[in-house]
Structure 1
Amino acid sequence: MQAEFITVTPQYRKHIALIALNRPKELNALNLQLMGELRDALVALDEDDEVRVIVLTGNERAFAAGADIKQMAGKGAIDMAKVDQFSTWDKIKRTKKPLIAAVSGFALGGGCELAMTCDMIVASETAQFGQPEIKIGVMPGAGGTQRLTRAIGKARAMELVLTGKFISAQEALNWGLVNRVVPVEMYLQSAMELAAEIAQMSPIATQMAKESVNHAYESSLSEGLYFERKNFYLLFASEDQKEGMNAFIEKRQPDFKGK
């Protein structure tokens, strides 16, 4: 079924898929349909062997300016529980392949949370990040209080969440929220360059490495080390491991097949 609020290019570049949020009049506000379409696209791309890295973007004016408040304003607690919108976010979080957010303009509320759900963020100089939910009588609900705290620390996260203030791309870089800041005309290209660098690696190894890094946030050091070691050993069952090490010994570029 054709998506209405996103566009998907499975082979935007070799082994790189591009998903663009596409509700420009609403500054890409994240309604239930858009999030469902995004979830379904990520599931399909995760199963596509030709895709090794996924880039998620909006447009120059907005990555996503937040959730669609009109869909929530009149609902009660039971209504929200029945909608269970966060099950969609949970599925997005489980994307196995590296996911890069290319952010320009507003990344606020749910938009900031969606960017943080990605593995890396490339921001344009015009990007603004924030969790302004407090200004409308609620709080972040899709990971904002948790991922922001882990990325920039308690004191800074507390200030952003309790005041609803925005931070610039440069502040986000200085605080460790984003990977790099580039001119607005370069933000998608820069994200693609990062994706291309990763896409050259073994797709099996990148997925296991991603899984291991993410595990560091949810385990003790000893548990994380055990998890890392298990994935390290498992990679020695892959053809890519043999190819990579032989290529190193033979002083040539490896040809990874994802097997």
Structure 2
Amino acid sequence: MPDARGIEKQAVRVEEQYDRVIATLDRPEVRNAIDQAMVDELHALCEMLEQSPRILILTGAGGVFASGADIAQLRDRTAADARKSINATVFDRVRRLPMPVIAAVDGYALGGGAELAYAADIRIGSDRVRFGNPETGLGIIAAAGATWRLPEIVGHARASELLLTGRVIDAAEAQRWGLISSVHGADDLLPAAHALADRIAANGARATELTKHMLLTPPDEHLGIVGDVQAELFDSAEKHERMTAFLERKKNR
């Protein structure tokens, strides 16, 4: 949507660095509600990261991650729209990006906003974070990932409680449940996300990609492919260089 100067405003503000991309959901006037424009821009972001793999940090503007799907648009969607799985499709694309995705969640992450956060590999939160899936209160289901990703993250019983009651949990409970791995002051949240990205970026890029690939592979398929995955790395120049450097450091201690 154009701003007061007639300039088209992006729903997702993207900052590129050589080893990472920071994507900020930027519709603060509607608490970063996820509309079709944001979905389209997330697809464009995924296309860029599929072609040029880098770590992705996802966050939100204005002290909110995302308050959910844009209800004004959602109310008018039909059964045909539901069958397109509009949000689920883009969130799955985020989930399957080659390199890790870190969600730095501040304030509300509700409905579709929570489901976008669930698609990340690592979630950290501010001390004012609030997670919830109130979809049943609106007469629909959480259909963009919560019913299958949330049980993997927090367990079936806790996921059932959240999805069936629609209640909202705070940062302390989210951390106890393992929904977020750490809690930070709002001003420290993005630096903490960058610190995680720094640690990931210091490792072998291809080894990181393949580790994520294995984490997304069903357990009963691991034995059939893990040898070939490791074989690629065993024959790589980077493995030899990194292990040689490790042995040199150990020798010089």
Q: TM-score, normalised by structure 2?
A: 0.90
> Do 1:120 and 1:179's aligned partners in 2 also have CA atoms closer than 8 Å?
yes
Q: Render the CA deviation track for 1:94-118: whole Å, top value 9, x for unaligned.
A: 2111110011000111111101101
Residue 32 of structure 2 corresponds to residue 35 of structure 1: no
C-alpha separation in 2, matches of 1:244 and 1:212? 21
Distance in 2, Cα, partners of 1:161 & 1:83:
19
For residue 23 of structure 1, the aligned residue among 27, 38, 41 is 27
- How far apart are residue 81 of structure 1 and its match? 2.4
Aligned to 1:192: 194
Distance 2:155 2:99 in 1: 26
Q: Conserved in 2, the CA contact under 8 Å of 1:17 and 1:54?
A: yes
Within the candidate set 138, 141, 153, 2:140 is matched to: 138
TM-aligned CA deviation for residue 70 of structure 1: 1.3
* Structure 1 residues not aligned, in runs of 5+: 253-259
Q: Is the 8 A contact 1:3 1:37 kept in 2?
A: no
The alignment partner of 2:216 has SS state of helix
Computed over aligned residues only, the root mean square deviation of the Cα atoms, in angstroms, reads 1.8
User: Structure 1 residue 179: deviation in Å?
Assistant: 1.3
Q: Is the CA contact 2:127–2:184 (under 8 Å) kept in the aligned structure 1?
A: yes
Q: Which moved more, 1:232-241 or 1:95-104?
A: 232-241
| Superposed displacement of residue 191, structure 1 | 0.6
Q: Does 1:239 align with 2:237?
A: yes
Provide the TM-score with structure 1 as the length reference: 0.88
Question: Distance in 1 between the 2:87 and 2:55 partners?
Answer: 26
Matched, 1:72 2:74: yes
| Deviation per residue, 1:32-78 (Å, 9 max, x gap) | 21011012112213323xx6311110035210010112112123212
Q: Output the CA distance in 1 between the equivalents of 2:79 and 2:165.
A: 24
AA at the equivalent of 2:37: Q
Partner of 1:224: 222
1:168-179 to structure 2, matched below 5 A, reads 168-179=170-181
Q: Shift of residue 226 of structure 1?
A: 3.3
Taking the aligned partners of 2:67 and 2:51, their CA distance within structure 1 comes to: 29
Q: Check whether the contact 1:108–1:132 (CA below 8 A) recurs between aligned residues.
A: yes
What is the aligned residue count?
243
Mapping 1:76-87, distance limit 5 Å: 76-82=78-84, 84-87=86-89
User: What SS does the corresponding residue of 1:62 show, helix, strand or coil?
Assistant: coil
| Displacement of 1:140 | 0.5
Conserved 8 A contact 2:109-2:132? yes
TM-fit CA distance, 1:84:
4.4
Tell me if structure 2 keeps the 8 A contact 1:10–1:45: no
Q: Which of 203-212 and 82-91 deviates more?
A: 82-91
Cα distance change of structure 1 residues 60 and 33 upon mapping to structure 2, 3 Å threshold: closer
Which region of structure 1 is more displaced relative to structure 2, 39-48 or 101-110?
Answer: 39-48
Structure 1 residues 3-32: Cα deviation after superposition (integer angstroms, max 9, x where no partner): 720111111xx5222111110011111112
Percent identity over paired residues: 36
8 Å Cα contact 1:212-1:224 kept in structure 2: yes
- 1:43–1:95 CA contact under 8 A, matched in 2: no
Provide Cα deviations, 1:109-148, integer angstroms capped at 9, x if missing partner. Answer: 1111101101001100000111110110111011101111
Equivalent position to 1:152, from 142, 151, 154: 154
Instruction: Give the 3-state SS of the residue equivalent to 2:65 in structure 1.
Output: strand
1:47 is the counterpart of 2:45:
no
Q: Which runs of 4+ in 1 moved over 4 A?
A: 82-85
Partner of 1:257: none
